[in-house]
Structure 1
């Protein structure tokens, strides 16, 4: 009966379009009342969930991303990539994917990547001869790489739930993120093979050097973050704080695009975004605790073990199906708290590495950013390009297909995600 109340309330509120943070909290509280569990556990659980040291990385990465976005780094990265590959056929599609991967290593967020780059890249792709809906779909899907390539807020949350090294999780996303970008580009080139695309003039060596110097300080940000983590200079949480400080110094004194009076607005935006994320973290953690204390998580784990019968390949297929469906309705952070307590024990019993499982889960959640009806990246792209959800939902299908292909490769060839983590251990 507790399960009926928990999930019944969850789906009813979901159909009523209640924000995900509220519906997780309300359905959890209703179940607590039914089970005669102390309501004081709501505040205790939410506080303990959000007061973990590792989660300090979230507000700092959000702040760092906002600072770099306001500093004009997106335009500089685009100009640099244009100078390198803009003259090639499908040059603007190349620019879209490459810059999305670079910016992903700065923002750690899918929607932020689409918002920062889409306003510049989508009109440029349309001008070059690409279809507007396909251009928006490519930008939205490329932006999803933002939660795969480090730093990634979703990896931080997975690490805080399971106790897995965040540094190893970050490393596991590098190759899969690049692979997804390459396959997205291949799909766009195939779809546009019969189009008359306008080529940009080839940049001279002087122009390339000039654009590189202009983008240099932005390109250094992921180098500092990842180099510091894997060089043992600082932890991922400390790296997040360093990235925010570095971005502020670059914006104020090098690019001089941020003024002192802009800092308050940047802080307000960062606090607002952090509050949304941390509220979801708190209520999702409460939901996961209810699943555990009522025995539902253990029952679901045991059922999965019986279905798989010790076959980890069947288990991996099942979790991909579950998470792909879940990604259509709930955000990545909520999905982590709901499904990790169920899936993690089963994966451990089957000998699946925690880092590999984390990479698989995050890739599923990245695909969820571009699958309707709750594909956040799609809504951001629609708002920027003035494309209907219906049109972009059709255009995004080929990119979702190649993203799923990437997911399957990473799922069943662990070396793709584990090669770098094994090197940096």
Structure 2
């Protein structure tokens, strides 16, 4: 579990055997180039920070080279994620169908994904040709050098999908799936004149129905959005498919998103060096002897570790192995530990540097510094609510032979943990104080973590470092492809006029902002269960944030409410993906933990109501 993104564990069924890697000889050059690109991005950004703040001589072309490298990293990483089966997907429903039918549904999903990529390949090539006439401001080179990454990435993903389908599927399933998809496409083409007259009903057919069906089939979420949007544009509008490539480019190319792969890499360093474990050991020596002490340590560790990695998966994978054995010895039930782990990770997701907050700031145009400052306070409120519940549940905890840690032990653990403890405060203070952007701070944090990890925490081997770079590329590619296709789908929604109709409907509701806030909580709780945070943010932010602003709701306040609601939904069984990640990390059957998590979910909902009802919690320190 050394990965540092929230898109690792749910990518395949827990009961499934990992699929063999396809085309190892072809993927190795792509992995090597991706690792090199990530290094180039980090070095470029560090050079830019040094030239700007140390020598007061900004290098204007650095951002352009970093932007080119970033899009190539995103698309090559998406191809690696296809090869590794690491694209986020919903597998709850596919696990309910018979095994033989599962194989056919899996093949059908592969054929649908391949069809989408095949259709998008020609517009991607046309987009490259069109962008040849657009030159960059500093380097004065055609923009085709940057956007050709999209065409190459689509081609590479198509190759890996086809190879996987041929090797992993039976000839019968493959033939039936191809015929079935061809028949559906032909039928929709024949019905397109009728569909054109249906108006906004096509939103329900394609952007809801087709996307939902693909989700149920276990198609990766990025391709669910892509398939639904492509079908909507092709069969119910006269908008050329070419436009969709431009929207995907826009969704993946924001300069703010440059910090995403760097913070993912930072989480990998955290796991590899043991910096997170040092923080856990320090908190255990400080609080482990009190009633509910280990629960406090678990929550506090998630809070602090999240300030370094920015990832729920990395947080849980770091904290659980270090604390669960001692918690079991003290009488904690495994199901209660999983419940606290899952909801604690949801609590800590607004602690900077949160990848969700970075993406939200990029998509909705909200200040990253404001989100980081508010996210810290909101997490403190949720931490207090969960800690109070943990104390209530600690009545049966066995503390007979537990003693306060000796002063020497406490002093030793704080000395070891101090360099790691400094890092989250560097990140928060630098971004929140406006000293540097989130992207600049991410590169400084990586440099700091590498130096500290090498000299104080045992170092990182070259092979291990290369593996982390490739893993970061794959996870970042999976995240960024979701952002691209989700933004294309959100754009398609806005072009229908649906956003304006929704805004008018919301504005006409009785109760003003209070009712709107309540409806937003319900919507994002459900989306958090089904889609996970990032795609839900990109899909809904363009629709909901303008309405919130018209109702007088502060952007940062609304951001905290929707992100907290999504995090709660993510951990809510039976659909919430994060709940199953926590169960997998803690090695506890989901059926056993499902009943225990609801009091903790209720506690988070109480905290969410407080955050929604009292805007000052989110805005007092801005």
Report the equivalent of 1:3: 203
TM-score (norm 1): 0.95
1:267 pairs with one of 428, 451, 469: 469
Report the equivalent of 2:522: 321
1:257–1:146 distance in 2 versus 1, CA, 3 Å: farther
1:158 pairs with one of 360, 378, 392: 360
Report the equivalent of 1:397: 598
Aligned counterparts, 1:67-82, within 5 A = 67-82=269-284
Report the equivalent of 2:9: none
What RMSD in Å do the two structures reach over aligned CA positions?
1.5
CA distance, structure 1, for counterparts of residue 401 and residue 212 of structure 2 = 49
1:377 pairs with one of 570, 573, 578: 578
Shift of 1:122: 2.2
Q: More displaced, 343-352 or 181-190?
A: 181-190
Shift of 1:26: 0.7
CA distance, structure 2, for counterparts of residue 13 and residue 375 of structure 1 = 17
Report the equivalent of 2:419: 217
Report the equivalent of 1:296: 498
Report the equivalent of 1:24: 225
Q: Which has the higher contact order (CA 8 A, sep 6+)?
A: 1
Shift of 1:46: 0.8
CA distance, structure 2, for counterparts of residue 293 and residue 181 of structure 1 = 41
Report the equivalent of 1:312: 513
Shift of 1:322: 1.2
Report the equivalent of 1:47: 249
Report the equivalent of 2:375: 173
1:141 pairs with one of 343, 347, 358: 343
Shift of 1:285: 0.7
Decide which structure has the larger Cα Rg and report it: 2
Q: Deviations over 1:374-421 (max 9, x none)?
A: 423322221122211122221110111010111110001011111222
Tell me, yes or no, if the aligned pair for 1:55 and 1:157 is still in contact at 8 Å.
Answer: yes
SS at match of 2:509: helix
CA distance, structure 1, for counterparts of residue 477 and residue 334 of structure 2 = 34
Report the equivalent of 2:558: 357
CA distance, structure 2, for counterparts of residue 381 and residue 359 of structure 1 = 23
1:198–1:294 distance in 2 versus 1, CA, 3 Å: farther
Instruction: Tell me whether 1:194 sits opposite 2:396 in the alignment.
Output: yes
Report the equivalent of 2:293: 91
Tell me, yes or no, if the aligned pair for 1:111 and 1:376 is still in contact at 8 Å.
Answer: no
1:78–1:199 distance in 2 versus 1, CA, 3 Å: farther
Report the equivalent of 2:407: 205
TM-score (norm 2): 0.66
Shift of 1:52: 0.7
SS at match of 1:327: helix
Report the equivalent of 2:387: 185
Report the equivalent of 2:260: 58
Q: Which consecutive residues of structure 2, in runs of 5 or more, have no partner in the other structure?
A: 1-200
